[in-house]
């Protein structure tokens, strides 16, 4: 079963508009963490934002915010005021306790295209 599901293989957004990238997850661990990473064409994974399962408020980092709906097990990334440089792959990831340690599992990603 998929642990992290990103249902949008590709998304288009107009420059300066906001865009939401979807992510749903599945875990039985009550203490987990959710992440979003950006991967530009250069290949490096860039950390964007983190949400802990016990965090009461939605995480925000500059133009990035995480719409955390715990009951629905969703952790959508909202990018406000899109910029051309936001064009990249975006990965949702979850860290959960498995076995004796923690493991981070990534989704398949969403490719975002920002149009001028």
Partner 1 sequence: DTGVSQDPRHKITKRGQNVTFRCDPISEHNRLYWYRQTLGQGPEFLTYFQNEAQLEKSRLLSDRFSAERPKGSFSTLEIQRTEQGDSAMYLCASRNVTGTAYYEQYFGPGTRLTVT
Helix (H, G, I), strand (E, B) or coil at 96: strand
Among 28, 41, 42, 56, binds partner 1 (CB under 8 A): 42
**79 in Cβ contact with 92 (< 8 Å):** no
Give the distance from CA 84 to its chain's centroid.
Answer: 19
* Binders in 92-111 for partner 1, by CB under 8 A: 93, 95, 99-101, 103-109
- Using the minimum distance from each CB to partner 1, give the nearer residue, 101 or 116: 101
**70 in Cβ contact with 2 (< 8 Å):** no
Other CB atoms closer than 10 Å to residue 77's CB: what's the count? 27
Query: Applying CB under 8 A, which part among 12-20, 34-42, 64-72, 75-83 lies near partner 1?
Result: 34-42
Interaction site with partner 1 (CB under 8 A): 4, 33, 35, 37, 42-47, 50, 52, 91, 93, 95, 99-101, 103-109
């Amino acid at each position: 079963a998929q642990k992290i599901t990103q249902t949008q293989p590709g998304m288009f957004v107009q420059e300066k508009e906001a865009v939401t990238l979807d992510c749903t997850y599945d875990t039985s661990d009550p203490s987990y963490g959710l992440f979003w990473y950006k991967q530009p064409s250069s290949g490096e994974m860039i950390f964007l934002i983190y949400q802990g399962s016990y965090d009461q408020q939605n995480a925000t980092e500059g133009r990035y915010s995480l719409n955390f709906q715990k009951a629905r097990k969703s952790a959508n990334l909202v990018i406000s005021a899109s910029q051309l440089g936001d064009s990249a792959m975006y990965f949702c990831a979850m860290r959960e306790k498995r076995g004796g340690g923690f493991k981070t599992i990534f989704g398949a990603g969403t490719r975002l295209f920002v149009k001028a």
